[in-house]
């Protein structure tokens, strides 16, 4: 398993501070959803956790050690990152893409090993792409394309996956398809998953742990039922909302408390 946590982390782009005083322990073996309005620091937080962005203050600790004291390959064997809206060059097949996930395990002059082949085949099966290895990635549907990228991350054989808005630009059916896949991977493989989501209701439905961010800080975190309520919606999103149990899952379901004045006056 992988232990990933932050201690008073400050993240910035140049002189602009984006994330401030971040204290966060990633729950092992769980799905965590990071929610918050645009510009709240969600994606920046994920970049800090993934060692893509170096903190200007505090530390990100991977298994008790500063993540920036560890090599890129060493970290990539522990953490898989799927950025927002990744693009694939034309002419790259599903198999080509998934094989790239084995990069952290390759050494100079090493040949492709049996273990590499097993990891790639397993990733294709887990994502339901075992029958499409020769398909060009840019010819796939949005949902299939995202599955291919997830398969690449799976081929890394990491215990922890970080995903930045994995449902972006997907229609509702493909969003559910991708989120169902991630939940299945968590349950069957024990993968720890941290994902940034814009859809609060999807976050509540799929995550065990929700982190609400605003203005670069964590406002609240915990189980969905502990975090998502009318007060949080007002304070974090500036939106009056009624939070009711989801009729299917029982998890929090946010309904904007907006009345059409023109309509209501006629009732």
Supply 180's token pair: 């169902």
Residue showing tokens 């997907």:
170
Cα–Cα distance measured from residue 54 to residue 149, given in angstroms and rounded to the nearest whole number: 25
**76, 81, 87, 89: CA torsion to nearest 10:** 20
The pLDDT score that the predictor gives to residue 112 is 80
Burial of 217 (0-12, 13-18, 19+ CB in 10 A): middle
Tell me, yes or no, whether 66 lies in a domain: yes
Tell me, yes or no, whether 231 lies in a domain: no
* pLDDT tens digits, 212-246: 999 999 999 999 999 999 999 999 999 999 999 99
Q: Is the pLDDT of residue 111 over 80?
A: no
Tell me, yes or no, whether 247 lies in a domain: no
Q: Is the pLDDT of residue 50 over 80?
A: yes
Q: Which residue has the higher pLDDT, 53 or 142?
A: 53
Range from 10-14, 154-158, 206-210 carrying the lowest mean pLDDT:
154-158
Tell me, yes or no, whether 47 lies in a domain: yes
The count of residues in the chain is: 267
The pLDDT score that the predictor gives to residue 169 is 84
CATH number reported for the structural domain that contains residue 89 in this entry: 3.40.50.300
Cα–Cα–Cα angle for 23, 27, 28, rounded to 5 degrees? 135
Tell me, yes or no, whether 38 lies in a domain: yes
Nearest 5°: phi and psi at 121?
Answer: -60, -40
Q: Which residue has the higher pLDDT, 87 or 19?
A: 19
Q: What is the mean pLDDT of the chain?
A: 92
Cα–Cα distance measured from residue 33 to residue 179, given in angstroms and rounded to the nearest whole number: 11
Q: Is the pLDDT of residue 262 over 60?
A: no
Contact call for residues 160 and 191 (beta carbons, < 8 A): yes
Structural domain boundaries, residue 85: 4-224
Burial of 136 (0-12, 13-18, 19+ CB in 10 A): middle
Split at pLDDT 50, 70, 90, the class of 48 is: very high
Name the 3-class secondary structure at 41: coil
Tell me, yes or no, whether 152 lies in a domain: yes
Strand ranges across the sheet with 57-62? 16-25, 4-13, 57-62, 65-66
DSSP β-bridge partners for residue 4: 62
Helix pair angle (142-155, 114-126), 10° resolution: 150
H or E segment to which residue 220 belongs: strand 217-222
Cα–Cα distance measured from residue 70 to residue 28, given in angstroms and rounded to the nearest whole number: 20
Cα–Cα distance measured from residue 120 to residue 131, given in angstroms and rounded to the nearest whole number: 13
- For residue 81, the tally of other CB atoms under 10 A from its CB is 22
Cα–Cα distance measured from residue 136 to residue 145, given in angstroms and rounded to the nearest whole number: 9
Tell me, yes or no, whether 50 lies in a domain: yes
Helix, strand, coil in percent for the chain, rounding step 5: 35, 25, 35
How many independent structural domains does the chain possess?
1
Range from 18-22, 103-107, 198-202, 219-223 carrying the lowest mean pLDDT:
103-107
Name the 3-class secondary structure at 59: strand
Nearest 5°: phi and psi at 182?
Answer: -65, -40
Tell me, yes or no, whether 263 lies in a domain: no
Q: Is the pLDDT of residue 266 over 50?
A: no
Contact call for residues 206 and 33 (beta carbons, < 8 A): yes
* pLDDT tens digits, 58-98: 999 999 999 999 999 999 999 999 988 788 878 999 999 99
């Amino acid at each position: 398993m992988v232990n990933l946590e932050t201690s008073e982390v400050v993240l910035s782009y140049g002189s602009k501070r984006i994330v401030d005083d971040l204290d966060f322990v990633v729950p092992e073996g769980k799905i965590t959803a990071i929610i918050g309005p645009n510009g709240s620091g969600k994606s920046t937080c994920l970049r800090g956790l993934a060692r893509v962005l170096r903190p200007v203050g505090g530390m990100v600790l991977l298994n008790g050690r500063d993540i920036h004291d560890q090599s890129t390959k060493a970290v990539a064997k522990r953490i898989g990152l799927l950025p927002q809206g990744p693009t694939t060059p034309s002419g790259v097949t599903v198999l080509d893409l998934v094989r790239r996930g084995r990069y952290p395990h390759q050494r100079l002059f090493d040949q492709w090993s049996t273990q590499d082949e097993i990891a790639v085949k397993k990733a294709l099966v887990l994502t339901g792409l075992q029958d499409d290895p020769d398909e060009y990635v840019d010819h796939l549907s949005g949902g299939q394309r995202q599955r291919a990228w997830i398969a690449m991350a799976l081929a890394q054989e990491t215990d922890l996956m970080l995903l930045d808005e994995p449902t972006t630009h997907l229609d509702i059916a493909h969003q559910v398809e991708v989120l169902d896949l991630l939940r299945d991977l968590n349950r069957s493989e024990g993968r720890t998953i941290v994902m940034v989501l814009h859809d609060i209701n999807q976050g509540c439905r799929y995550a065990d742990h929700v982190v609400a961010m605003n203005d670069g800080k964590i406002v609240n975190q915990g189980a969905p039922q502990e975090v998502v309520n009318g007060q949080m919606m007002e304070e974090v999103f500036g939106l009056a909302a009624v939070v009711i149990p989801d009729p299917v899952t029982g998890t929090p379901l946010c309904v904007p408390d907006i009345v059409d004045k023109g309509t209501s006056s006629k009732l």
